Amino acid sequence: MAGALEGVKIVGFEQVVGVPAATAVLADWGADIIKIEPIWGDWQRSLVSFNRGPLLLHLEKGEIELHFEFLNRSKRSVAINVRTEQGREILHRLLEDADIFASNYSTDVLERFGLDYPSLKDRYPGLIHFLLTGYGSKGPKAKDRGYDYVAAWSYGGLMDLVSADPNSPPPIQRPGMMDLVASAHITSGLLAALYYKQRTGKGQGLELSLYHTAAWTLGLDIQTALYGHPQPKWDRRRAANPMYTSYRCKDGRWCMMCHPNQDYWEPFCKAIGKEEWIDDPRYATMESREQRAEEMIALLDEILASKTWPEWEKEFRANDLIVSGNQTISEILKDEQAIVNNFYTDIEHPVAGKARLLNSPVQFTDTPAEIRWVAPQLGAHTEEVLLEHGYTWEDMAQFKEQGAIP
pLDDT digits (tens, 9 = 90+) for 305-334: 999 999 999 999 999 999 999 999 999 999
Q: How far apart are CA 128 and CA 121, in angstroms?
A: 9
SS3 356: strand
- pLDDT tens-digit profile of 277-305? 999 999 999 999 999 999 999 999 999 99
Q: How far apart are CA 403 and CA 150, in angstroms?
A: 35
Q: Is-contact 194 200, C-beta < 8 A?
A: no
Q: How far apart are CA 71 and CA 197, in angstroms?
A: 27
Q: How far apart are CA 310 and CA 305, in angstroms?
A: 12
46 confidence band (pLDDT: 50, 70, 90): confident
Q: What is the pLDDT of residue 49?
A: 55
CB-CB neighbours of 302 under 10 Å: 9
Q: What is the pLDDT of residue 53?
A: 53
Beta strands in 117-253 (DSSP E): 128-133, 205-209, 246-248
Q: How far apart are CA 10 and CA 7, in angstroms?
A: 10
Q: Note the pTM of the prediction, 2 decimals.
A: 0.93
**9-218+342-402 has CATH 1.10.760.10 classification:** no
What does pLDDT average to over the chain? Answer: 95
- Whether residue 2 is predicted with pLDDT greater than 60 in this model: the reply is yes
For 238-328, CATH number?
3.30.1540.10
Q: Is-contact 280 269, C-beta < 8 A?
A: no
Q: How far apart are CA 135 and CA 88, in angstroms?
A: 27
> Sign of the CA dihedral 123, 128, 133, 135?
positive
CB-CB neighbours of 318 under 10 Å: 11
Which residue type occupies 2? A
| 71-75, 232-236, 388-392, 400-404: the lowest-pLDDT one | 232-236
Q: Is-contact 28 6, C-beta < 8 A?
A: no
Q: How far apart are CA 180 and CA 219, in angstroms?
A: 17
In sequence order, which ranges of 282-328 are alpha helices (DSSP H)? 286-291, 293-304, 309-318
Q: How far apart are CA 186 and CA 373, in angstroms?
A: 23
> Which positions ≥6 away from 180 have C-beta within 8 Å?
17, 21
Q: What is the pLDDT of residue 51?
A: 45
Q: Where are the CATH 3.30.1540.10 domain residues in the chain?
A: 238-328
- Whether residue 363 is predicted with pLDDT greater than 80 in this model: the reply is yes
Beta strands in 80-161 (DSSP E): 100-103, 128-133
Q: Is-contact 191 10, C-beta < 8 A?
A: no
- pLDDT tens-digit profile of 213-262? 999 999 999 999 999 999 988 888 888 999 999 999 999 999 999 999 99
Q: Where are the CATH 3.40.50.10540 domain residues in the chain?
A: 9-218+342-402
Distances (CA, A) of 330 to 31, 236, 336: 32, 26, 12
Burial 6-20 (b: 16+ CB within 10 A, else e): eebebbbbbbbbbbb
Q: How far apart are CA 193 and CA 101, in angstroms?
A: 12
Q: How far apart are CA 201 and CA 163, in angstroms?
A: 48
> Sign of the CA dihedral 301, 304, 309, 312?
negative
Looking at per-residue confidence, does 133 or 167 come out higher? 133
Q: Which sequence positions are flagged as catalytic?
A: 179
